[in-house]
Amino acid sequence: MDDHSLHKCMNCGLNMDSNDDVSLCSGCLLDMKTPLIQFENDEFKESLQYILEFFKSDVHAAFDKDPAARSIAEVLTSYPGIKAILLYRVAHLFWILKIQFIPRYLSDIGRQISGIEIHPGAKIGKEFFIDHGSSIVIGETSIIGNNVTIYQGVTLGGISLKKVKPHPTIGNNVVIGAGAKILGPVKIGDNVKIGANSVVTIDVPDNSIVVGVPGRIVSRNGEKIPRIDLQHADLPDPVLAIIKRLEDRIVSLEQKLTQEDQELFENTMGLGI
């Protein structure tokens, strides 16, 4: 065989046929060692218990937040959000064990069957519900609290290549409307509602709602959002509110000008001019 048709194994240096697509020879591939699983890891034990607990809470959340849910069989087999989150729970367990291939593979399977991409490194609390779910992306360092509802097209994405936490942190009792994008290491507080198609790049305080591009924070004057709140379309329009204030101001100025003109006319008539 011509020497030009050979290349070397990147591990042992053995000559390989250039037609091979792999960078390791068969001997090195067969000798690959799998990582040692440390079952005494406290975080592993805790996460294993959480899988069972979260399984119940995730399924219950589907019934609490979707009036169309009729049976457990229907939810488990027909809800892409449930399939994605259950696969994520298992993948996250392997991620904690530092076995990267298995959780990433499970994540890819979840994306193929549900259209939802959840990185196994993300941390997600209980009572998490994804409604419909197509085209959702949740990044590796995302942290999501309890009782969070996400609609289709949502992205929790990063904006930096630096070795820092590039993804958002979401609090408890949060609703994220369809198509919303939360980008960067921003912090979303508790009891927050994010409107459909909003783009959020700044921190959001508790008991607030966000709408628009870029997202504008609209306070609810301390009014706590209900624990189960699916009205992600029932949102104020801050632009409309500004226009309304401008219209009111114009009307006030016109009335004032009319009154001044009337007073000037009366004074002029009184002087006999």
Determine if the pTM surpasses 0.85: no
Q: How many CB atoms neighbour CB 170 within 10 A?
A: 27
Same structural domain, 2 and 71: no
Neighbours of 250 (CB within 10 A): 10
Q: Are residues 235 and 147 in the same domain?
A: yes
Residue 193 confidence (pLDDT): 92
Same-domain status, 207 and 132: yes
Domain identity same for 204 and 128: yes
* From 4, 119, 132, 167, the catalytic residue: 167
167 is catalytic: yes
pLDDT, mean over the chain: 80
- The residue count for the chain: 273
Q: Where are the alpha helices (DSSP H) in the chain?
A: 26-30, 42-65, 72-78, 80-96, 101-114, 238-270
Clarify whether residues 19 and 120 are in a common domain: no
Q: pLDDT: is 181 or 47 the higher one?
A: 181
pLDDT in tens, 32-76: 454 444 555 666 677 777 777 888 888 888 888 888 888 888 888
Q: Could you tell me the residue range of the domain that residue 189 belongs to?
A: 42-240
Instruction: Indicate the SS3 state at residue 23.
Output: coil
- Structurally, how many domains does the chain consist of? 2
For the segment 87-140, what is each residue's pLDDT rounded down to a tens digit? 999 999 888 888 878 999 999 999 999 999 999 999 999 999 998 888 899 999
Same domain, 5 and 53: no
Q: Please indicate, yes or no, if residue 92 is contained in any of the structural domains.
A: yes
Does 56 share its domain with 173?
yes
267 within domain boundaries: no
pLDDT tens column, 205-248? 999 989 888 888 886 655 555 555 555 555 666 666 778 888 88
157 shares a domain with 211: yes
pLDDT score at 66: 85
The candidate with the shortest Cα–Cα distance to 198, out of 140, 149, 141, 155, is 155
Give yes or no: residues 99 and 197 share one domain. yes
Structure tokens at 186: 């921003």
